Amino acid sequence: MFSESKLILFFAATVAMILTPGPAVLYIVARGFSQGVRSTLISVTGIFVGNLSHALAAALGLSAVFASSPLAYAMLKYLGAGYLLYLGIRKFMTKPVPVTDPTFQQENAAAVFRQGMMVGLFNPKIALFLLAFLPQFTSPGTSPMWLQLLILGVAFVLMGYVGDSCFALLSGSIGGWIRRHPKFGEMERWISGGIFCLLGIGLLLIK
């Protein structure tokens, strides 16, 4: 189905991209700083589900339809940007509570998962990237194109999930330390909120 040389190139390119921090990694780091390892891993799982949806869409040809519709692209972009800005503003307005405080509560797991999934789903760059990236590693005439795209897409998203989980463990561990030291909590609030807002603005500015 796939030539050995193309598979090697695919995995090498995927690893290189995973090691290069992008918007999703910045979101994960911001989440880790504010909520720790558990919530960040849940958020990464949500992003994985959102990205998996894009991989399925690419395999079924839906991404091509999306790419040819400026209106659909714009709607997805504005939804994603608006959601990230909302998360940033909400972070700015939330007073940090030290983990040692009796009133401290982890954010609801379902809400964290949903937020991560929406960040993945509302990122139009993922859909366009998979549409351009995956076909380069297919072997026409050996098996159905949709099946090859599906396998490559799922492999790409799974590898991304592993990489994102590593970033989650690292940032979440740092976040646990930050939340035990109240004087750093205020700084974390502005850093995390700022990252969310910058990601939203960046999404608005892409064409």
Q: Is 20 within a domain?
A: no
Identify the DSSP state of 96: P
Residue 106 — φ and ψ, nearest 5°?
-70, 145
Note the pLDDT of residue 59: 85
Between 187 and 4, whose confidence is greater?
Answer: 4
Note the pLDDT of residue 103: 45
What share of the chain has pLDDT > 90, as a percent?
22
Q: Is 59 within a domain?
A: yes
Residue 65 has pLDDT above 70, yes or no: no
CA separation, residue 183 to residues 100, 155, 178 (Å): 13, 42, 8
> Which range of residues forms the domain containing residue 110?
27-205
Number of continuous H segments (helices) and E segments (strands) in the chain = 8, 0
CA separation, residue 99 to residues 38, 41, 72, 92, 134 (Å): 14, 18, 42, 18, 43
Q: Is 72 within a domain?
A: yes
Q: Is 12 within a domain?
A: no
Q: Is 4 within a domain?
A: no
Cα 129 from chain centre: 13
Q: How confident is the model at residue 47 (pLDDT cuts 50, 70, 90)?
A: very high
Nearest to 154 by CA among 74, 52, 65, 12: 52
Note the pLDDT of residue 2: 73
Residue 102 has pLDDT above 50, yes or no: no
As for how many domains the chain has, the answer is 1
What share of the chain has pLDDT > 70, as a percent?
86
Residues 28, 164: contact at Cβ < 8 Å? yes
Claim: this prediction has a pTM higher than 0.85: no
Residue written as tokens 């714009």?
Answer: 74
Between 67 and 16, whose confidence is greater?
Answer: 16
Q: Is 95 within a domain?
A: yes
Q: Is 83 within a domain?
A: yes
Q: Residues 109-141: pLDDT tens digits?
A: 899 999 999 988 888 778 778 888 888 888 877
